[in-house]
A and B are shown apart, each in its own frame.
Chain A
Amino acid sequence: MVITPRTPTGLQTLVPQPPPPNQKQTEPDQRTIVVQVMPGGKLKINQDDSNWNDLGPRLFDIFKERADKIAFVKGDDDVEFAQVARAIDIMRGAGIDHVGLITAKIEAGQ
């Protein structure tokens, strides 16, 4: 039983597709929450500085009265994947159902 392979586990994320070329680009929602993981273990929730201990409670407070539990995560190129995975893990723990990844192409609107 101990050595039986376990069911894989993971963090479900979304990578939004670009809108069709003939569709108008919609204005970004002002309520959108983006968690940034920066080098040195620094974190930002939108433009506000945060840290690993506060991230979960702050996100929980932000999303407790929201119906759409969607947030995005953006990581610096030089941070380890484990740090971004940890941020996504905390976001899911704070009740965020859908975590979107912001990549270079998504940022460029491609």
Chain B
Amino acid sequence: MAYKPKAPPVMAAPNVIPMADIMLVLLIIFMVITPMLQKGLPVNMAKAENAEKMPNADRDDAIIVAVTRDGHMFLGSREIQLNEITGEVKDLLSNRLDKTVYVRSDARAKYGDVVKAVDEVRSAGVENLGLLTEKPQGKVAPPPPPGGSD
């Protein structure tokens, strides 16, 4: 008896398994690279509803001074001492038209530490400062100040 190949039954629905495989792989790739795309030190930023877009803060050559909750300071992703900020920022600002410096401070950092960093940045000749914040997700009321009477 001769072998007679049999055609498989016709599928009415498309086979979505390869598509699901590709989607899962893409999802994993995005999950891995997304944290790498964040520039500078990751800090828990304050939320502000009336913040404006600052696309220049996302540029590779943006000058971002970060202040952590415990008062440590970073220029980009490199830790820096307070007295080094003026010199380093001055060097970075030379030959630049846009002399804006961005401050990425932790929401719970003491304002005194932020002001110290701001004073050092100001000593480098900076007049425009961008305090980086986050847009609040949804319409959630900001937390009441500690011990404050709203």
Contact = CB atoms under 8 A, between A and B. Distances in A.
Interface of A: 3, 5-17, 37, 40-42, 51-53, 75-86, 88-90, 92-93, 101, 103-106
B37 A5 contact: yes
Given A14-B129, A88-B131, A41 B115 contact: no
B57 A82 contact: no
B40 to A, nearest CB: 10
Contacts of B55: 7-8
Nearest to B31: A3
Contacts of B105: 81
A53 B127 contact: no
Nearest to B112: A77
A25 to B, nearest CB: 18
B109 interface: yes
A40 B145 CA distance: 7
Given A7-B58, A10-B57, A81 B106 contact: yes
Most buried by B among A5, A10, A13, A78: A10
Contacts of A51: 148-150
Contacts of B125: 17
Contact of B128 (A12, A53, A80, A86): A12
Interface stretch (B7-15, B17-25, B43-51, B75-83): B43-51
B54 interface: yes
B130 A12 contact: yes
B5 interface: no
Contacts, number: 160
17 contacts: A9-B51, A9-B132, A10-B102, A11-B131, A12-B54, A13-B129, A14-B127, A40-B145, A40-B148, A77-B115, A78-B112, A85-B107, A85-B131, A89-B133, A103-B122, A104-B116, A105-B122
A15 B38 contact: no
Contacts of A76: 111-112
Interface string B33-68: 010011000000011111111110110000000010
Contacts of A101: 115, 118, 129
Q: Which of A51, A76, A80 has the most CB of B within 10 A?
A: A80
Given A77-B110, A88-B48, A105-B123, A7 B53 contact: yes
